[in-house]
Amino acid sequence: MLILLHLFALFLLVLLGFYVFVADPRNRAHQTFAAFISFLAFWTIKDLIFWNFYDEKIGAGWWVSTSFVVALLMQCALVVFAWVFPENARTPRRKAAIVFAPGLILIPSAALGLLWNYAGFQNGSFIIDLAPLAYAFVVYVYFVFFYGAFILYRKYQKYRRTQRGQQLGAILWAVSITGILKTLANIVLPFYGIYALLPYSTIFVLPGVLIYAYAISNFKLFSLQTALNQFRLFPIAYKIALSIATIAILSFVIFQIPIVWWAFQNGMDFEAWRKYLVFSVVSALVPNLLLLLLIVRAISRPLQRITLAAVQVTEGKYGTEVELRKSNDEIGLLADSFNEMSRKMASDIEQLQKLNEQLMRTEKLAAMGTLASGVAHEVNNPLASISSLIQMMQANPNTDEKIKDNLRLISTQIQRITQVTHDMMDFARVRPAARNSVEINRIIETALRLASFDKAFQKLKLIKNLDQKLTSVYADGDQLQQVFLNLLLNARDAMNGDGELSIKTFSGGNEVIVEIADTGGGISEPDRQKIFDPFFTTKPAGKGTGLGLAVCYGIITAHNGKIEAFSNSPGGTVFRVSIPSNDNQNR
């Protein structure tokens, strides 16, 4: 029964220590708790060996020496924990050197056997006769213990009525329970010659250790939600530890027990030991190879794939994703985060490219606007003089008829030049937008009415799909009318007066969207990248200046909107204008 209790205590201690440490390996409080659990596990192993497999030839001196040393080390771990918790502070080295200095003398004294005169069993009862130095050792151990408890109590007073205060209060309860039970089993009763509870001292520590771990883990150790969270995100360290423990137990049951039975069934002679050693080594290869396979499958292969994907991203293949099976550990989380980062990076770079194109186009518009204003001003003055001279020559009755025909031709070309300079002036002129709340559908209807005066436009098949529930926009109605009229007339020119013109309005999120689609010849992909540039046109020579869409682009972007061109299936072009709604602009 005692051996089962010791094994249970050892298993529980290792499990708690591993759980708390892996939960936050870089936290000093968790590191110190793991150290405390390690010393306590060593104490348990010591009791397991001594109380269940006592050997009179070896004696009990090693057990007494180890008990004194481990007891002191556990109290030192408690003091270090009190220094670092809950702030995750550093250990004060100078203070630690002063507090722990006596241990440099007492620990070697315990190792040399100077703390007892006799320790062992007499007539089936355990007896220990301590030397005077042992009492000094015990006093020092309790000094370190109470010093650590005092530090925790002061911090408890500081953080009272907070989450940290609750944690410190629970730890103080754990320290108190552990101290009382250990003192009773290891000091008080043995002082009166009662050693019956001494083998169970490890068991008495477990309640305090459980409270200790419960408090450190922020009272989440035994909660159902924490268990569910651990199931959703199961750390790879837990998986490896569980795999190692499972394989070790299975290999012991499947291989070691049969090998021991087979090798030693006829006695423990040299031949039996030779069989045992040879086949134990052979049987150890199987679980080791299995562990290697698990580690490669769980860690090496996924990390290699993530590394290759990262290299591809650095080479400019943005959007590259890692193809891994779903796993609820750090590698699975890393792969999902990498994929999300790669997708986000690809999306951001695409947005940056679009913004860069818009910026370049805006800068080009500004530069061309300044140039156009200067050119138009310089050209208009001499054109006005030439036009006046032509009118004077035409008014002269003595002018030959042939010359008059030439003058009319010159006048026509001057009007054409004047129209070009007029367009340039409109392009360059910065007019303050008279913005107010307007309805897009009403502006489109007005633009359609103006365009309908054109005979070629009247021949088109018009399809309207206007959303009557559209929210209003805050914009300059005249400027938007100029944009839509320009797009309508461009669609007319693209279809040569024979085709289908579709106009659609709808809401898209926080925007009002207008789509004008034609069934003309369409615009090639390279040309679509340049149609909003000044002086770029797909029309034949003499049919357009290439300023209309540039003006439209300037107006729409000034309204914080977007104007885009797409291919229309099966043929033609779709112009989409997006303008923020009133609700979105008021945010």
For tokens 């390996």, name the residue: 25
Nearest to residue 484, comparing CAs of 423, 442, 437, 434?
A: 442
User: What phi and psi, each to the nearest 5 degrees, are found at residue 169?
Assistant: -65, -45
Q: How is residue 50 annotated by DSSP?
A: H
CATH number for the region 433-585 comes to 3.30.565.10
Q: What is the dihedral of CA 221, 227, 228, 234, to 10 degrees?
A: 100
Helix (H) or strand (E) holding 573: strand 573-580
**What is the four-CA torsion angle of 99, 104, 105, 108, rounded to 10 degrees?**
140
pLDDT of residue 394: 76
- pLDDT, one tens digit per residue, over 337-372 is 888 888 888 888 887 877 776 666 566 555 555 666
Mean pLDDT, rounded, of the chain: 81
**Tokens coding 526:** 């390279």
Decide if 427 contacts 369 (C-beta within 8 A): yes
Helix (H) or strand (E) holding 365: helix 330-395
CATH of domain 2-231: 1.20.1070
Task: For CATH 1.10.287, list the domain ranges present in the chain.
Answer: 346-430
* Rounded Cα gap, residues 183 and 205, in angstroms: 11
Range in 65-74, 239-248, 342-351 the model is least confident about: 239-248
pLDDT tens digit string along 175-198? Answer: 899 889 888 888 888 888 888 888
For the chain, where do the domains classified as CATH 1.20.1070 start and end? 2-231
Closest CA to 168 of 202, 134, 218, 126: 218
Q: Are strands 461-466 and 500-508 parallel, antiparallel or unpaired?
A: parallel
For 505, the 3-state DSSP assignment is strand
Exposed/middle/buried for 219, CB within 10 Å: 0-12, 13-18, 19+? middle
Per-residue pLDDT tens for 516-560? 999 888 888 777 777 777 666 666 555 555 667 877 888 888 888
Whose tokens are 């951001």? That residue is: 348
Dihedrals φ, ψ of 224, to 5°?
-65, -40
pTM score, whole prediction: 0.54
CB 174 within 8 A of CB 208: yes
Mean pLDDT of 133-156: 93
pLDDT tens-digit series, residues 259-281: 888 888 888 888 888 888 888 88
**What percent of the chain is modeled with pLDDT above 90?**
15
Residue 28 has pLDDT above 50, yes or no: yes
Task: Pull the structure tokens for residue 533.
Answer: 């540039």
CATH 1.10.287 fits 346-430, yes or no: yes
CATH 3.30.565.10 residue ranges of the chain are 433-585
Q: How many CB atoms lie within 10 A of CB 392?
A: 10
Element (H, E) at 514: strand 511-517
User: Using 50, 70 and 90 to split pLDDT, how confident is the model at 378?
Assistant: low
Q: pLDDT class for 228, splitting at 50, 70, 90? A: very low
